[in-house]
Structure 1
Amino acid sequence: MVLQRIFRAVIMGPPGSGKGTVSARITKTFGLQHISSGDILRANINAQTELGLLMKSSIDQGQLVPDDVMSRLIMKDLRAMDQSSWLIDGFPRTVSQSEALDNAYSVDTVINLNVPFQTIKQRLTSRWTHLPSGRVYNVDFNPPKVSGFDDVTGEPLVQRDDDTPDTVMRRLKAYQTQTEPVLEYYRSKGVLETFSGTETNKIWPHVEAFLLRKLSPAKQNVA
C-alpha cells in the first residue's frame, strides 16, 4: 500500500508480546520505516558514539538509560527521515519520553499489544537468541531451520539469562509499572488503540484492518 500522506505510529507491548513480528508486517504492508530503539541503541554502543558511550555507562551500572539521552538518540534518527512515515518500537517508555516525542512530531496512533502474562511467560522461556544480531527464535512457533543455530550466520543461539521464568515475570511486572502511565498519557490524547489476544497471527488481522481504516480517508481525499 502506498501512503498518500505522512503517517507516524508507535507500537507498544511487553517483552514477548509479538511486537517484532507485528512491526515487520506493518512496515511491509504499509511502507513505513521501522525504528527500533534496541537496534539504534546497539548501533550507537558498537560505534562508540557520544550517546552510545553514555548509554553503555548506564547499562553497565545496571541503570536505565536516562530519558534525555534516550530521547536525543531517537530524535537524531527521526530528523534524518523528516519527511518519512514511520513506526517506532521500544520508545517512548516513560511519560517524559512521550512528551519529548510529542514536542517534535505529531503521533497519529499508538498500537498497544495486550497479551496475557502467562502466554508471554510460555513464549519467552522457549526463546533463543542470536546475540550479535538480536534475531530471536521460539522453539514452539518460530524455530530455527537447524536447532540451536542462527538461520543467517549459522552461529550458535543462546538462551538469555533474563528469559528464565522468574526473571520473565519480574520483567513483565516492571514493564507494566513503567509503561502504564505512558498508555494512560496516549489514552487521554485519544490516539491509543489496544489489541488483545494470545496469538500474533490472530491479532494481526485486527491491526491491519484498523490501519486500513485509519489510512483510507487520506486516499479518498487525494483521489
Structure 2
Amino acid sequence: MGTAVDAARKELIGILQTNNKKFIVVFVLGGPGSGKGTQCAKIVEHFGYTHLSAGDLLRAEINSGSENGTMIQSMIKEGKIVPSEVTVKLLQRAMNESGNDKFLIDGFPRNEENRAAFEAVTGIVPEFVLFFDCSEEEMERRLLNRNQGREDDNIETIRKRFRVYMESSLPVIEYYNLKGKVQKINAAQPVEEVFESVKGVFSKVAA
C-alpha cells in the first residue's frame, strides 16, 4: 500500500516539477513576409532556443491521427477556429517534451484571446516580444517574389492576410508594448542586417 502511495506521490511531484519548470519564452510576431522564419532559424543556431510554430504543431497533431488531431481537423474543415486552449496545450506539451528551457514561439499569439489563454493555461509571461516591423509594400513585394510557389501568394490573398494580421495581432503587440516588453526590429533591412539587430536584442535582454 505504502509503495503505491509513494509511487503516486512521486508521479504527482514529477508533474508539478514539469509544470513549474522555469521556461524562457519569446513571442516572435510580424506580418506575413516580415522574415520571422528566417530570423528564428538564425536565433536557434546562435542562441540555443527551440523554435515552436503553433501552425506546425496543429498540423503535426492532425497528421498523428490522434483523437485530438481528428477534432482539430474537423473544426478546420468546418471553418471553425481551433480553441486557444487546444493550441496552448500543444505548445505546453512541446515545451515540456523538448528538454530545453528557452523557446521562440513564432506567429503566436495571433490575437488577444490567444494571449490571455496562453498566460492563463501556462502561467508563463513572455520574456519579451520580438516584433519584426515591415511595411505592407515591402512584405507584399517579398511574398510575390519568393520562389516557394505557394498557391496562396497572390495579391488578393496576400492583402487579406495583411488585414487579418493588422486587426488581430497588432492589439497583442500594443498590449505588450504598454508593459515595456516589445523589442521592435526594422525588418525592411537585408537579412544579415536584420540579424545584427536581433543579436543586439538577445545579447542585451536574454543573456
Q: What TM-score results when the alignment is normalised by the length of structure 2?
A: 0.80
Q: Does 1:35 align with 2:52?
A: yes
Sort the Cα spacing of 1:42 and 1:11 in 2 relative to 1 into closer, same or farther, 3 A. same
Letter in 2 for 1:13: G
Q: Does 1:45 align with 2:62?
A: yes
Match of 1:164 among 148, 154, 157: 154
Give the greater-gyration-radius structure (CA): 2
Aligned-residue offset at 1:97: 1.7
Aligned-residue offset at 1:17: 0.8
* Runs of 4+ in structure 1 over 6 Å off: none
Aligned-residue offset at 1:102: 2.2
Query: Over residues 161-185 of structure 1, what are the superposed CA-to-partner deviations in whole Å (9 max), with x where a residue is unaligned?
Result: 3200111011111111111111122
Aligned-residue offset at 1:201: 2.6
The residue that corresponds to 2:176 in the other structure is 186
Q: Say what the alpha-carbon RMSD is for the aligned residues.
A: 2.0
What secondary structure does 2:152 align onto? helix
Q: Does 1:59 align with 2:50?
A: no
Aligned-residue offset at 1:83: 5.7
Sort the Cα spacing of 1:67 and 1:101 in 2 relative to 1 into closer, same or farther, 3 A. closer
Among all aligned residue pairs of Structure 1 and Structure 2, give the percentage whose two residues are the same amino acid. 31
CA distance in 1, matches of 2:141, 2:133: 15
RCO higher in structure (CA 8 A, sep ≥6): 2
- What does 1:1-223 align with in structure 2 at a 5 Å threshold? 7-81=24-98, 84-103=101-120, 104=122, 105-129=124-148, 159-199=149-189, 200-216=191-207
Aligned residue pairs, count:
183
Aligned-residue offset at 1:56: 1.4
Higher fraction of helix: 2
Contiguous gaps of at least 5 residues in structure 1: 130-158, 217-223
CA distance in 1, matches of 2:171, 2:51: 24
Query: Over residues 51-92 of structure 1, what are the superposed CA-to-partner deviations in whole Å (9 max), with x where a residue is unaligned?
Result: 322221222223332222222222222232476111111221
Letter in 2 for 1:76: R
Work out whether residues 51 and 73 of structure 1, in 8 Å CA contact, stay in contact via their aligned partners in 2. Answer: no
Work out whether residues 34 and 134 of structure 2, in 8 Å CA contact, stay in contact via their aligned partners in 1. Answer: yes
Aligned-residue offset at 1:203: 1.7
CA distance in 2, matches of 1:161, 1:174: 18
Work out whether residues 186 and 192 of structure 1, in 8 Å CA contact, stay in contact via their aligned partners in 2. Answer: yes
CA distance in 2, matches of 1:82, 1:72: 17
Contiguous gaps of at least 5 residues in structure 2: 1-21
Work out whether residues 54 and 69 of structure 1, in 8 Å CA contact, stay in contact via their aligned partners in 2. Answer: no
